[in-house]
Amino acid sequence: MGSLPLARLAAGAALVLSCLTVAPSVAWADESSAETLFQEGLAAMKRNDYAVACEAFAQSNKADPSPGTQINLAVCYEKQKKWASAWTWYRSAVGLAQQRNQGEREKLAQEAAARIKPQLNYIVISVKEPLADLVVKRDGAEVTIALGGKEVPLPIDPGEHSIEVSARGKKPWSTTIQVADDAATDRVEVPKLEDAPVEDKSVKPGDGTSYQPPVIVSNDGSGQRTVGIVVAGAGVLAGLAGVGVFVLAKSEERDRDKQRREANELVDPTTNRPTNEPRYLELNRSADSHGKAAKNNQLIAGIVGGGAVVLVGVGAVLYFTAPRGAEKSSAASGSRPLLLPLLSPGFAGLGLGGAF
C-alpha cells in the first residue's frame, strides 16, 4: 500500500509541470479568444440579436475581464429588460474601472447603474426553520438570503425562476415563481423542511447474508512501476518538445537578424536617415516581433526542459522504490531488464539495462 501515495505524488507533479509549460500560450489564447468573442457580440448587437450578443460578451469577459466588455454585457441585458443582470454588470464594471484607473468608463457605468436601479425587482426568500447547513439556490446558483439574522432582498430579472432549498437529513424543497416587471419586492416563504427517511444499512440475522472476510490484496509494486514508466516517458516527450521550441526560437532570431540587416541597408550613411522610411519602419517592427517571439520560445523551452528532467527523475524514483514480490531465484532476478534514467546537461531520457 505504500506505493499509492508516491504514485499520486508523481501524477500531481506531472500535472503541475504540464500546467507551467502551457501557461504562457494559454494566456495569449485567452486574450485572442476574448477579442474574437467581443467582436461577435458587437456584430450581434448591431442586428439586435441580444441573446447571442449577451452570450458572446459573457464568454469574452470570462476569457479576459475588462470594464468595456462588462458595460457592453450590461447594455445587452438592459435591451432585454433584464434589469437586475444589467445593474449587476454595470456595478461590476464600476469596480473594475476603478482598479484600472479608467475614469470615463467608471463614470459611464456608475450613471447607467443609477439610472436603472429604480426599475429593479427584488425577491426575499424567507425560511421558517433556518438550519446551519441550509443551501438555497436560485436558478441553480447558490445565494445568500440572510446576513446577521436579517433577510437580504435579492435583485432579480423579470420572468420565471426556480428556487431550491436543501439541508442535510432533510427532504429538498423547490418551487417556481413568476416575477413581473413592476419594480416590486416579492416574498417566497419556505416551509419547514421534512425529515428525510433514514436508510437502514445494517445486516439483519436470517436475511440470507453471510459474513464475508475482507479481501487482502498483496502489493507487488507493479502499479507504481507502471506509473514511474509513464511519468519518465512524459519527461522524455517534454524534453523533445523543449528541443523543438528551442529550434523555433533560433529560427525567430535568424529572421530578426535578417530584417535588422535589411533595415540597416536602407540607411543613407551620409544623412544617417532611411531612404525608404515606411519600409524601414516595417522591417524594424517585424524584427521586434520576431525578437519577442524568440525570447518567449526560449523561456518556454527552458521551462519544458527543466520539467522534463524533473519528470524523468520522479519516474526513476517511483520505479526503483516500488516494492517487489518474492523472486523465484537469484538467477531470475538478475535476468530481469531494468529501466534506467539517462541524464546529462543536454539530454534526458530512458535506457534499458540488465542481463539478457
Q: Tell me the C-alpha to C-alpha distance, in Å, between residue 171 and each of 127, 139, 194.
A: 14, 19, 5
Report the distance separating Cα 309 and Cα 238, nearest Å: 9
CATH of 121-190 given 3.90.330.10, 3.30.420.40, 2.60.40.1120, 2.40.10.220: 2.60.40.1120
Within its chain, how far is the Cα of 220 from the centroid?
37
Digit-by-digit pLDDT tens for the chain (356 residues) are 444 454 454 545 544 444 444 444 444 457 888 899 999 999 999 999 999 999 999 999 999 999 999 999 999 999 999 999 999 999 999 999 999 999 999 999 999 999 999 999 999 998 888 888 899 999 999 999 888 878 899 999 999 999 999 989 889 999 999 999 888 898 998 998 888 998 766 655 555 555 566 665 566 778 887 887 888 888 888 888 888 888 988 898 899 898 888 888 878 888 878 877 788 788 888 888 888 888 898 889 889 888 888 888 887 888 888 787 654 444 444 445 555 555 555 555 555 555 44
Is this prediction's pTM over 0.95? Answer: no
Sign of CA pseudo-dihedral 239, 241, 242, 244: positive
The pLDDT value recorded for residue 95 is 96
Which pLDDT value is given to residue 336?
52
Alpha helices in the chain (DSSP H): 3-46, 50-63, 67-79, 83-99, 103-116, 222-265, 277-321, 330-334
* Rounded distance between C-alpha atoms, residue 126 and residue 130, angstroms: 9
Q: Measure the CA dihedral 63/68/73/78, to 10°.
A: 170
Task: Locate the domains of the chain by residue range.
Answer: 25-119, 121-190, 222-325+334-353
As its CATH architecture, domain 25-119 has Alpha Horseshoe (1.25)
| pLDDT for position 241 | 87
